[in-house]
Amino acid sequence: MRPQARRAGSEAKGRPLHRAESDQEGERSPETDVERIVSLLPSTTEIACALGFEDALVGRSHECDFPPGVARLPVLTEPKLDASRPSTEIDRQVKALVRDGLSVYRVDADRLRELDPAVILTQDQCDVCAVSLSDVEEALGEWMGSRPRVLSLKPATLGDVWRDIQRVAEVLGHPERGKLLTVDLTDRISETAERALRIAERPRVACVEWIDPLMVAGNWMPELVSLAGGRNLFGESGTHSPWIHWEALRAADPDVIAVLPCGFDLARTRSEIEPLTAQPGWNQLRAVRNRRVLLTDGNQYFNRPGPRLVESLEILTEILHPDEFPAQHRDTAWQPL
């Protein structure tokens, strides 16, 4: 992170964090200092920490794991499914819960009440990917007296992500930190993109967000592919990631296939890849023949709409233009199949 953004974070140490003004009836007075924050989404945890509020966090979700210091925090959520099962089984479990009108996650309402947060950070972008706004509202349903301020994010594009960082900073009472951080992040994005876009080659790219059944990446990923100097084949910027049939991928015959399953680290991605590589015609694909199928850590990168989308862009440039960008993230964030 650049010096200005580091200063924005370090200024938080050792002094009260002022609550942003609230317009919701029943919430605590905006004059109260914000010293207790619960984040129920990995990306909002990363945003809060990048803004300098790590010491104010008092609770997290079961998926919040970065920066490493948040491991000390009480865990307030758990999935209602067995996430250790193969991707096909996870998909079946999720669809069964949704079909029955059930949430995919549990929120520990009693523990949340004990922690008594001033602000709760959550999302309503995807009910499957993480604890949703409705889950939080249900957990708060029986609270008496003043209630915490709930900020729910719904990013669909890179611009939404930068605006959400500003929204978090404003809710936590330090909008200037949001401005410094977003300037730093967008400057880094621009620097990387300018280098990538000077390269004549623009490989055709398929980004696989789920292996079985097959899903390709939407939301901010088409933008990242374009900024990295590639041509995105599936999914549209600002829309949810679509399911596709194998034959569509086979017919497109991409130059590069980047496998970045939501929630899977690099080792898990490799262990789950067989349903894709076993498809008829796999070995005849251009990307396979040219050894341009790349496995990535889709848990830490790409699928978290927060500060590390900058690193996600850097990873894509390494994957798409290996002769121009040094492989700084190889074996930690990505590997060849």
321 vs 12, more confident: 321
CA pair distance 2, 6, nearest whole angstrom: 6
pLDDT score at 128:
65
Residue 49 pLDDT level (bands cut at 50, 70, 90): very high
Does residue 192 have a pLDDT over 60? yes
The domain defined by 3-181 folds into Rossmann fold (3.40.50)
Looking at residue 10, its pLDDT comes to 37
Q: Which residues pair with 243 in a beta bridge?
A: 215
Q: Is the pLDDT of residue 106 over 50?
A: yes
Residues 6+ apart with CB under 8 A from 321: 196, 199, 201, 228, 229
Question: Mean pLDDT for the chain?
Answer: 87
Q: What is the pLDDT of residue 235?
A: 93
Q: Give yes or no for a cis peptide into 67 (omega within 30° of 0).
A: yes
Q: At the top level of CATH, which class does the domain 199-336 belong to?
A: alpha beta
Res 13 pLDDT > 60 = no
Question: Please, where are the H alpha helices in the chain?
Answer: 3-10, 42-50, 87-99, 109-115, 133-139, 158-171, 175-197, 221-227, 246-252, 266-271, 274-277, 286-289, 309-320
Q: CA nearest 287: which of 258, 316, 314, 266? A: 258
CATH 3.40.50.1980 spans which residues of the chain? 3-181, 199-336
The string of pLDDT tens digits covering residues 219-241 is 999 999 999 999 999 999 999 99
From residue 100, alpha-carbon distances to 76, 85, 93, 126, 281 in Å are 23, 20, 11, 17, 37
- Of residues 13 and 244, the one with the higher pLDDT is 244
Percent of the chain with pLDDT over 70: 87
Give 34 or 160, the one with higher predicted confidence. Answer: 160
| φ, ψ of residue 317 in degrees (nearest 5) | -65, -35
Residues 282 and 270: their CA atoms lie apart, in Å, by 16
- Average pLDDT over every residue of 310-316: 98
Place 102 in a pLDDT band, splitting at 50, 70 and 90: low
